[in-house]
Amino acid sequence: MRKMILSVLLLGTLFSVSAWSANRLSGLCGRTDELLAMSEKLSETDTEAAARFAEGARALWEAAEGFTRIFYRHDSLDLLNESFLVYESALRQDDAAAHGALRLLRARLAALLDEERLTLRSLI
């Protein structure tokens, strides 16, 4: 009976930590995406302000690096960081490719969030 109780407690703890981690990443991705959306709105009229919002999004993401590097695949995180740099560079150069770079950045951010969603399929 004690083994069963310990097993249930361990399973509950693991589920709680997984839910907390997914919730934290969801909030982080949401705040980052909001800053990127503001950057996108401003990119057509004020590229300097758009670049500041993009830098703010990257700074928010980098501030959570201690958390993200522990729980998530490094290659996905490296691709996301690279996408931030490509987008910011395109904005600074007033490049027409900035819109495409932003779409790629937001897609990689969404893919990272989708990796951590708890679904019945991910549990099986």
- Condensed to tens digits (0 to 9), the pLDDT of residues 57-76 reads 999 999 988 888 887 788 88
Q: Label residue 15 by pLDDT band (50, 70, 90).
A: confident
pTM for the model stands at: 0.79
Cβ neighbours of residue 90 under 8 Å, at least 6 residues apart?
A: 97, 98, 101
Residue 43 sits in a domain whose CATH number is 1.20.120
Q: Is residue 8 part of a domain?
A: yes
On whether the CB atoms of residues 84 and 54 are closer than 8 A, the answer is yes
**Looking at the domain assignment, is residue 30 inside a domain?**
yes
The answer as to whether 17 is a domain residue is yes
| Residue 69 falls inside a structural domain | yes
Please give the Cα distance from 32 to 93 (Å, whole number).
Answer: 22
Average pLDDT over residues 16-23: 81
Q: Which residues lie closer than 8 Å to 113 by C-beta, 6 or more apart?
A: 25, 26, 29
Q: Which range has the worst mean pLDDT, 15-24, 49-58, 96-105?
A: 15-24
Q: How many domains does the chain have?
A: 1
Q: Is the CB of residue 26 less than 8 Å from the CB of residue 113? A: yes
Q: Which two tokens stand for residue 79?
A: 């691709």
Give the structural domain span for 96. 2-118
pLDDT tens digits along 72-118: 788 888 999 999 999 999 988 877 888 899 999 999 998 888 776 65
